[in-house]
Amino acid sequence: GQYEHFRNHESVFKDYRPYFEGSGNNLTSISGQTVTLTCDVRNLGDRYVSWLRGTDLQVISSGWTKFTGNRRVSIVPADRSHTWKLVIRNITPKDSGQYLCQVNTEPKISQINYLKVAGMSLFLECVILYTFCLSESFADIKGNSERGVQRGSTLELHCLISQSIPVGQTLPPITWSRDNYIIHKNDKVDIQQGVTNPKENTIDSRLKIEYVQPSDAGVYSCKSQGAAEAKVTVL
């Protein structure tokens, strides 16, 4: 009788343990979009849900608290529903990978979500202090994205964008900005719009700033309407 009572109690306990409803997400999207990963948890009780990045197990959030400083990422905790959401805005190929929805049971239970981001081709190359930097791809940026420039020297940035456009439409021009403020030509700044190649859907532009001063430091970016964006930090 005592064993039967224990077995019944164990069965009831199992019924009230947290569990995932449904399988994890498997999403594919393109750069610049917003994606939402969902996690449906039942019988959560006094437990809490955490989101982790699967590649390095970096904790993104735990319960209502967000631990990442990435402003593109937001958490929508379950209120009356059972669904917890991880929202990532303006996604890039670097966001691709596994995302774990985890409940702090003992042992912990996790549901794996997959995100694949296809990036548009975008290259950024620079000539700083007479050193040629390797071409960089937005889909796989290699090396240090911070550049040191000597005061009084010349900064030159070259941006090449490749994007798909509807037949019959022309490629939009490239705009340069520093810390999100659009850069215009003046006595010290020169912007050259390169020759476009309609067959390959490519367009390029060069930014040249003479007599660089500390006030010129910041995050420089080149962007074409509807295309990806490349950034380089000048110190």
Question: Is pLDDT at 122 greater than 60 in this prediction?
Answer: no
**pLDDT tens digits for range 197-218:** 666 666 778 888 888 887 887 7
User: Which pTM was predicted?
Assistant: 0.48
Residue 50 one-letter amino acid: S
For 90, phi then psi, to 5°, come to 50, 55
| CB half-sphere exposure, 133, CA atoms < 13 A | 25
The per-residue pLDDT for 229 is 58
Residue corresponding to tokens 């000539």: 127
All domains of the chain, ordered by start, with CATH? 2-123 (2.60.40.10), 138-234 (2.60.40.10)
**pLDDT tens digits for range 59-71:** 999 988 999 888 8
Residue corresponding to tokens 């290699």: 142
